[in-house]
Structure 1
Amino acid sequence: MSFSLQNFLHLSICLLLLISFANAQNCSDCFVHSRASYYPNSDEHGTDHGACGFGAFGATVNGGDVSTASELYRDGVGCGACYQVKCTNSDYCSDNGVTVVITDQGSGDHTDFILSEHAFSKMAQTTDAAASLRSLGVVDIEYQRISCSYPGKNITFKIDESSNYPSYLAFAIYYQQGEKDITAVQLCETQTFTCKLLQRDHGAVWTSTSPPSGPLSIRMLFSDGDYADDTWVVPVNNIPQDWKSGAIYDSGVQVN
């Protein structure tokens, strides 16, 4: 069997295309270029009235390094996602930038992020450089999705104050971890092993009318868009039968 130069070139091109595709699918250092601004407030942190439904938690999670998002909000799916955000002005900006958590929805002057003042300042090299950044108001950035990590913290469920035991249950998911989205939630009655698929009410808040009785298990589907890699996470701890409005319950699990 003869192997012509044309066959060799064809094979080489195919290999290059496969390598390029693989690199595109597994690019851990790929940044998207955009713009960011910030919202100033008295304590420099986030807001406790964000669209994600985190309440006061949304103002202080991640040390107050939080952000609103426009397209990245994704109808609430983006709530709790983490991003590395770096401004690109070499006179003021550090190489590492800042890691932020999405806690709200909002858009500015062609921006993907509106950072808390605390987070915006942390993109700078020095305190003086941070003041110069804030004076600009809007800066060019590059960003990438990264894994959320909360050392010593498990995924936690906060029962919303709108809940009314036993007829209506609403809860937000705190300390979402890893680099995947929570795309579905099941509420399971642990004694009969019956489950119902919940509706996302808004942001990170899920609701159930006529929830099951007895101890409950809140199961979460983590997904990165590749259905073959979807993972159901089952908490170690259950929600008690007599759950209470405003209570916080530790799932007992962490996600890498």
Structure 2
Amino acid sequence: MAVYKAFLILAMAAVVSAIYSNWYDAHATFYGDMGGGKTMQGACGYGYLFKQGYGLETAALSTALFNDGLSCGACFEIFCTNVPQWCIPKAGSIIITATNFCPPNDTPNKPDAWCNPPRKHFDLTMKMFTKIAYYKAGIVPVRYRHVTCSKKGGVKFEINGNPYFTLVLIYNVGGAGDANAVKIKGSKTQWIIMTHNWGQNW
């Protein structure tokens, strides 16, 4: 009975966000190897080894882009720019989903602290980085924009917690991709605003 009631509540969640079309400047690096390396649960809550199906078409975002986790699930189009010796000619652009956080480096005056505020930075998987730039580049300037996500199977929910606390992970969101506000409604309640906890956990 409890599982049935939870399904009724979560199936009615309202997901709200916005899409932007302007291009902005940033930088990109990569992590791991072509298979993703030691990919573990990140700051968005999407689980170990791409449990939620986001695969390798993903990136960790710097503080300036992460938005305290509210950008998790958002999709970005990215292309390498202005460095002919590092950008692959006619490579075009890639589209990635934000699935993790690239933390700032607290070491004073560290020159390669690319994820420190106010820098906008994408730490891509090696597979995605090498679609737009040569491996030996290490880091490249890019341009990016927030785009519509194309996902199959509809919005999905994962319920965690304990008898006193319920945590709901929202993922596989098409369109906006990221959930910035969520409401639930039970069979005997009005709409209730959910509180953002961390990543895409509410």
Same fold flag (TM > 0.5): yes
Kindly report which structure 2 residues correspond to 1:1-256, keeping only aligned pairs within 5 A, or say none. Answer: 28=21, 30-41=22-33, 43-44=35-36, 47-56=39-48, 58=50, 61-70=53-62, 71-88=64-81, 89-90=83-84, 92-107=88-103, 108-109=113-114, 110=119, 112-124=121-133, 133-151=134-152, 153-160=153-160, 163-165=161-163, 167-179=164-176, 181-190=178-187, 192-206=188-202
Aligned equivalents of 1:75, 1:37: Cα separation in 2 = 21
Opposite residue 81 of structure 1, the aligned amino acid is A
Which ranges in structure 2 are unaligned for 5 or more consecutive residues? 1-18, 104-112
| 1:46–1:59 CA contact under 8 A, matched in 2 | no
* Cα 1:55/1:62, change in 2 over 3 Å: closer
**Unaligned 5+ residue runs, structure 1?**
1-25, 125-132, 207-256
Q: Deviations over 1:158-216 (max 9, x none)?
A: 123xx124x321121111221364222122212x133322211101001xxxxxxxxxx
Number of residue pairs matched by the alignment: 167
1:17 corresponds to which residue?
A: none
Q: 1:173 to 1:59 in 2, by over 3 A?
A: same
More helix per residue: 1
Quote the RMSD (CA, aligned, Å): 2.6
The answer as to whether partners of 1:67 and 1:104 remain within 8 angstroms in 2 is yes
Q: Which moved more, 1:35-44 or 1:74-83?
A: 35-44
- Per-residue CA shift, 1:70-101, capped at 9, x if unaligned? 11110111000000011124451444221011
1:99-131 CA-partner distances (Å, limit 9, x unpaired) = 01101111542551100112112225xxxxxxx
Of 136-145 and 172-181, deviating more is 172-181
Preserved contact between residue 91 and residue 131 of structure 2 (Cα < 8 Å): no
Report runs of 4+ in structure 1 exceeding 4 Å deviation: 57-60
CA distance in 2, matches of 1:101, 1:120: 13
Higher RCO structure (Cα 8 Å, ≥6 apart): 2
Contact preservation (8 Å) 2:29, 2:124? yes
Cα 1:59–1:120 shift into 2, 3 Å: farther
Letter in 2 for 1:134: Y
Cα distance in 2 for partners of 1:59, 1:157 equals: 12
- What residue number does 2:6 align with? none
- Percent identity over paired residues: 25
* Contact 1:46 1:67 (8 Å CA) reproduced: no
Distance change in 2, residues 1:100/1:82 (3 Å): same
Q: Which has the larger radius of gyration?
A: 1
Q: TM-score with structure 2 length normalisation?
A: 0.72
Go from structure 1 to structure 2 and tell me whether the alpha carbon gap of 1:104 and 1:82 turns closer, same or farther (over 3 Å shift).
same
Q: TM-score, normalised by structure 1?
A: 0.58
- Distance change >3 Å, CA 111–CA 134, structure 1 → 2: farther
